[in-house]
Amino acid sequence: MTCSILTGGAWGDEGKGKCITYFCKNDNPSIIARAGVGPNAGHSVEFNGEKYGLRLIPSGFVNTDSELLVGAGVLVDPEVLFHEFDYLKKYDVKSRTLIDGRCAIIKPEHRERDKHSDYLSNKIGSTGSGCGPANSDRVLRIADLAKDIPELEEYITDVSLKVNDTIDEGNDVFIEGSQGFALSLYYGTYPFVTSKDTCASTFAADVGVGPTKVDEVISVFKSYITRVGEGPFPTEISQEEAAEKGIEEYGVVTGRRRRVGLFDYDLAKESCRINGTTQIALTCVDKLYDCAGITDYSLLPADAKEFINKIQTATGVPVTIISTGPDLKETIDLRDELL
Ligand code: GTP
Ligand code: IMP
Ligand code: MG
């Protein structure tokens, strides 16, 4: 039995989508539970030559044997949920997804408040998905809950009960977080953060699991750093330099150009400490080093190995997954050797 939580190591967009898909296809958990803020997330999933951009449904959906749950801590926008049911019809997502009755609801009014607030939209650079205003209504205790929305009735369950029962029966549960450590309302670059904590302990709380039930915390880092929206970014490089290195990026939800920077060892160390990280998954190594598609650690170039060792030394955490391309097959999995 393993209960794992996956977290973003930096400012989101670390490639969690690919890593979650890899873990869920490979390890076949009974339950994949979505934690994190809500549909401000944008995960990219590439599978069997197709590419999906997701905001709410768990990114592990490609494993059609798993039940998909959305934990009570997550904000649900019914429009996004129904859109993704339709979008992912091929994977029979609608019949496998249940949401906790205690999820708070994002209404069109929350999206409007988000987009039309000069502070949120321009100063913070929010995603405009309504998460900040909806979480604020939740704190004020005036938000609607999923259990009170008639159109959601058939999808309502007690996620905490299901997850804990599954763990107690000896089966695997995979909890996928969203956003990233440096966007945490508590530990990130406040006020340029999202509307909630984004660390492993909160993801456990989001799905109603106590800390004693969690076995593994996997933090995903990209080999360089990107940030969308405003706020401090100590290792930022210019757009010209990013273009030269071939690491320019655009956001999945907003289409905004991402700011780009070099790997930040100090940030990684703090992120692993506060998340209690037990394993690091490192993505996009192929974008910095000549190793696209390599699946054998011994074949990695020396400079890539040196980079990986430096991350392990700085954080004290083993790098168990090394991603060398978007496809699931383009993955080096060292878990058998390192754990
Ligand atoms: P999260 O927000 O963390 O889920 O990240 P994301 O999945 O949204 O990542 P993003 O939108 O930045 O998309 C990353 C893109 O890079 C997607 O098309 C992924 O399939 C792809 N990708 C993921 N890992 C790797 C990798 O190791 N190498 C390369 N070349 N591409 C990758
Ligand atoms: P909000 O969560 O939409 O309020 O946005 C607040 C800040 O968090 C902005 O800088 C967003 O760009 C950032 N943010 C929120 N979710 C994500 C994400 O999934 N990836 C990257 N940045 C995010
Ligand atoms: Mg993303």
Amino acid (1-letter code) at residue 29: P
Cα of 314 vs centre of ligand 3, distance in Å, is 25
If one counts every other C-beta atom within 10 angstroms of the C-beta of residue 94, the result is 17
Q: Would you give the DSSP letter of residue 163?
A: H
β partners of residue 220:
8, 281
For a pocket test of ligand 1, which of 283, 324, 330 has the largest count of ligand atoms closer than 8 A to its C-beta? 283
Rounded Cα gap, residues 4 and 23, in angstroms: 10
296 is catalytic: no
Q: Would you give the DSSP letter of residue 119?
A: I
If one counts every other C-beta atom within 10 angstroms of the C-beta of residue 154, the result is 8
* Sequence-ordered alpha helix ranges (H) in 36-75: none
pLDDT of 7 reads: 98
pLDDT of 58 reads: 97
**57 — pLDDT class (breaks 50, 70, 90):** very high
Give, in degrees to the nearest 5, the angle at Cα 4 between 196 and 184.
15
Q: Is the CB of 229 under 6 A from ligand 2?
A: yes
Average pLDDT score over residue span 47-73 = 95
If one counts every other C-beta atom within 10 angstroms of the C-beta of residue 209, the result is 23
For a pocket test of ligand 2, which of 228, 233, 252, 258 has the largest count of ligand atoms closer than 8 A to its C-beta? 228
Active-site pick, 27, 43, 158, 168: 43
pLDDT tens digits along 219-249: 999 999 999 988 999 999 999 999 999 999 9
Which ligand is in closest contact with the Cα of 41? 2
Between 200-207 and 159-168, two packed helices, what is the crossing angle to 10 degrees?
100
Average pLDDT score over residue span 307-328 = 97
pLDDT of 254 reads: 73
Q: Is the CB of 124 under 6 A from ligand 2?
A: yes
Q: Where does residue 293 rank: exposed (0-12), middle (13-18), buried (19+ CB within 10 A)?
A: exposed
116 is catalytic: no
Q: Is the CB of 14 under 6 A from ligand 2?
A: no
pLDDT of 229 reads: 86
Rounded Cα gap, residues 129 and 131, in angstroms: 6
Cα of 300 vs centre of ligand 1, distance in Å, is 20
**53 — pLDDT class (breaks 50, 70, 90):** very high
- Mean pLDDT over the full length of the chain: 96
